[in-house]
Amino acid sequence: MAKFEPVLMANMNKPDSHTLKVYEAGGGYRALRKALKEMTPDQVTDTVKASNLRGRGGAGFPTGLKWTFLPKNHPGPIYMCINADESEPGTFNNRYLMELDPHQVIEGIILSCYATKAVTAYLYIRVEYPLSRKRLQQAIDECYAAGYLGKNILGTQFSLDIYIHVGAAAYICGEETGLIESLEGKRAWPRIKPPFPAIEGVFRKPTVVNNIETAACVTHIIDRGADWFKSIGVPADPNNPRDPGSYGPKLYCLSGHVNKPGCYEAPLGITCRELIEEYGEGIWKGRKGKAAIPGGISMGLLTEPEFDTPLDFAGPGKVGCLGLGTAAVVVMDDHTCMVDFLHNSCRFFAHESCGQCTPCREGTHWSLTMLDRIKAGKGRLKDLELLLEIGDSIGIIPGTTICGLSDGAAWPIKNTIRKFRSEFEDYIKRTNPTGYMVTEPVPALVTIGH
Question: Rounded distance, CA 313 to CA 323, Å?
Answer: 6
Q: Which CATH superfamily is domain 20-231 in?
A: NADH-ubiquinone oxidoreductase 51kDa subunit (3.40.50.11540)
pLDDT, tens digit, 9 for 90 and up, residues 90-106? 999 999 999 999 999 99
Judge if 20-231 and 246-333 fold alike in CATH terms: no
List the domain boundaries for the chain: 20-231, 246-333, 338-431
pLDDT at 440: 87
pLDDT greater than 60 at residue 373: yes
pLDDT at 431: 97
Q: How confident is the model at residue 243 (pLDDT cuts 50, 70, 90)?
A: confident
What value does the mean pLDDT of the chain take?
Answer: 95
pLDDT, mean of residues 246-268: 97
pLDDT greater than 50 at residue 309: yes
Question: Rounded distance, CA 327 to CA 264, Å?
Answer: 10
pLDDT, mean of residues 291-317: 96
pLDDT over 70 for what percent of the chain? Answer: 98
pLDDT at 237: 87
Contact 36, 154 (CB under 8 A): yes
Q: Which residue would you say has higher pLDDT here, 441 or 270?
A: 270
pLDDT greater than 50 at residue 1: no
pLDDT, mean of residues 156-178: 95
pLDDT at 446: 59
pLDDT, tens digit, 9 for 90 and up, residues 270-290? 999 999 999 999 999 999 999
pLDDT, tens digit, 9 for 90 and up, residues 108-154? 999 999 999 999 999 999 999 999 999 999 999 999 999 999 999 99
SS (H, E, C) the chain: CCCCCCCCCCCCCCCCCCCHHHHHHCCCCHHHHHHHHHCCHHHHHHHHHHHCCECCCCCCCEHHHHHCCCCCCCCCCCEEEEEECCCCCCCCHHHHHHHHCHHHHHHHHHHHHHHHCCCEEEEEEECCCHHHHHHHHHHHHHHHHHCCCECCHHHCCCCEEEEEEEECCCHHHHCHHHHHHHHCCCCCCCCCCCCCCCCCCHHHCCEEEEEHHHHHHHHHHHHHCHHHHHCCEECCCCCCCCCCCEECEEEEEEEECECCCEEEEEECCCEHHHHHHHHCCCEHHHCCEEEEECCCHHHCCEEHHHCCCECCCCCHHHHCCCCCCCCEEEEEECCCCHHHHHHHHHHHHHHHCCCCCHHHHHHHHHHHHHHHHHHCCCCCHHHHHHHHHHHHHCCCCCCCCCCCHHHHHHHHHHHHHHHCHHHHHHHHHHHCCCCCCCCCCCCCCCCCCC
CATH 1.20.1440.230 for domain 338-431, yes or no, is yes
pLDDT greater than 70 at residue 2: no
**Cα separation of the two ends of the chain:** 46
Beta bridge partners of 262: 254
pLDDT, mean of residues 399-417: 95
Question: Rounded distance, CA 167 to CA 17, Å?
Answer: 26
pLDDT at 255: 97
Return the CATH class of domain 246-333.
alpha beta
pLDDT at 443: 79
pTM score, whole prediction: 0.93
pLDDT, mean of residues 5-33: 96
